[in-house]
Amino acid sequence: MNYAQYWKKIVLAHHVILKGWPLTEGVVNPTNIHDVDSMRTLRDHLKSGECYWHKLSSSERETAKEQYDQMVEDGEIEVVERKVRSDKKTTRKK
């Protein structure tokens, strides 16, 4: 899963969001959780169903887009653009 660009690549692209995420630092890759208690809390929330994927309705999508735009504007989320290929607009050997 693309944790670094969770809002853009998961929420806005697939119209789903993780509800009930128990950790205060937001949605992060579980391999980056180094505290055993935090990992157990996450595991328990996932097992019990407190943390789950929620499909967004059309109004929730609009709200999520506005929320994403606001977070980008406030600097909470860094927008990372891919580099352009150095051989762009050139023919490639076959």
pLDDT of residue 90: 87
| Token pair in block for residue 23 | 């950790």
What pLDDT, on a 0 to 100 scale, did the predictor assign at position 13? 95
Q: What angle do CA 20, 23, 24 make, to 5 degrees?
A: 110
**Per-residue pLDDT at 59:** 96
- Is residue 1 over pLDDT 80? yes
Q: What is the pLDDT of residues 31-58, one digit of tens each?
A: 999 999 999 999 999 999 999 999 999 9
Digit-coded pLDDT (tens) for 6-38:
999 999 999 999 999 999 888 999 999 999 999
Instruction: Give me the amino acid identity at 78.
Output: E
Q: Between 14 and 76, name the one with better pLDDT.
A: 14
- DSSP-derived secondary structure for 9-63: IIIIHH-EEEES---TT-S--GGG---HHHHHHHHHHHHHTSSEEEE--HHHHHH
Cβ pair 19, 54 in contact under 8 A:
yes
Task: Say yes or no to pLDDT of 94 above 80.
Answer: no
